[in-house]
Chain A
């Protein structure tokens, strides 16, 4: 208390002295503040490649949040000159960040011209393309591009349907096709497992469903169809399938798929057609037709009616 009061009386008699102390204190505080900003830079080692850009970017973001905006490169570039005796590496890092972000705050991906982006995206698989679309609105637009998904469709499924214009765009069509192709594959898994319960769930319980087995027999109506599968599962053995040339056509609530199945050397190959209907958000099989594939050159003897 006494010290304080004596200090105050002392100070009141020395205005210039007071001013000088205050100025020095302010300068010290300013230096400390700038130093604490600089520290992260000094701690990260300068390394080649993406690391330096990435680490500089990380620091960038730290300062960014202080500045409350994503105009990072500009603020970084301007901080450097104000610091006396700033290290060269710090200035370099700041400028490399600025170069990488082109002073507009956008990332490299967003800076590319559309034709380059399209080209780069053409090498992505569908999960990566989807994940890219989830990063931000600009990437969403680029990664949802209709032509990109059309190209991916032709790459992953078939070159057919080139003249088709899907009602909800090619990304949705790709998604629907993938769903149908997966369900079609499930059909063959069920046959391999010879699971009657699974087959019963797979078909639509309706009187108009039909099944034509490779034997040529036609079964009509849900019950008859399921029974025919029960028979097939009972006496046939060794369902080792190879399914090839799967072509799917998907409409709003109907889809049909053609394919070739190769069972073993003795029987097959077969031409198969499956038809599905969408009910309550679930695809059900409504038609299956399997017939022996005739190979060119092998002329079948004509069936003579007596």
Chain B
């Protein structure tokens, strides 16, 4: 599902982006507008000069732009895209965190959805202990709270 309803006129223009660690990227408009932020900038005509992105580092921005490139490609099939996405999101938690924050900040709906579903998949079907180990969550419940929580969820998980 494409997020933009009206077809973007391919002006062949490029956008300059600057990550927070001063890495610059040049990307075609058609690719950049996967991000709603850039889409509005382009539509409002305020996309001259390098756009500073103080919340995204160079490594993550490169990854995100690679994703946008793939998804802006008109020749790619849906199957290929799904396969690409599955491989793209199979990353360690540090990278996943950066992708989540970047997709949220740049307002890239499909990438955010992909990353969030990945997080959900990492939770599904696991016991609380397994979830803790996956995400390195520290159990800070007192014994009383543990009992409370167990009762609170008995309806769903059994006593």
Contact = CB atoms under 8 A, between A and B. Distances in A.
SS of B interface (majority):
helix
Given A96-B94, A99-B94, A107 B155 contact: no
A135 B112 contact: no
SS of A interface (majority):
helix
Interface residues of B, number: 41
Interface stretch (A16-24, A38-46, A50-58): A50-58
A242 interface: no
A179 interface: yes
Contact of A135 (B104, B117, B139, B152): B139
Contacts, number: 119
B64 to A, nearest CB: 15
A80 to B, nearest CB: 18
Which of A53, A110, A125, A179 is most buried by chain B, counting CB atoms within 10 A of its CB? A53
Interface string B95-138: 01100110010000000110011011001111110011111111
Nearest to A95: B94
Contacts of B104: 113, 115-116
Interface stretch (A126-134, A195-203, A218-226, A283-291): A126-134
How big is chain A's contact interface, by range? 35 or more
Contacts of B141: 136-137
A254 B90 CA distance: 48
Interface of B: 90-94, 96-97, 100-101, 104, 112-113, 116-117, 119-120, 123-128, 131-141, 145, 149-150, 152-153, 155-157
Given A108-B94, A108-B97, A135-B132, 10 more contacts: A49-B91, A54-B136, A96-B92, A100-B97, A113-B104, A133-B149, A133-B153, A134-B150, A137-B141, A178-B156
12 contacts: A53-B93, A100-B97, A113-B101, A119-B113, A120-B116, A123-B117, A124-B124, A127-B157, A131-B157, A134-B153, A135-B139, A137-B145
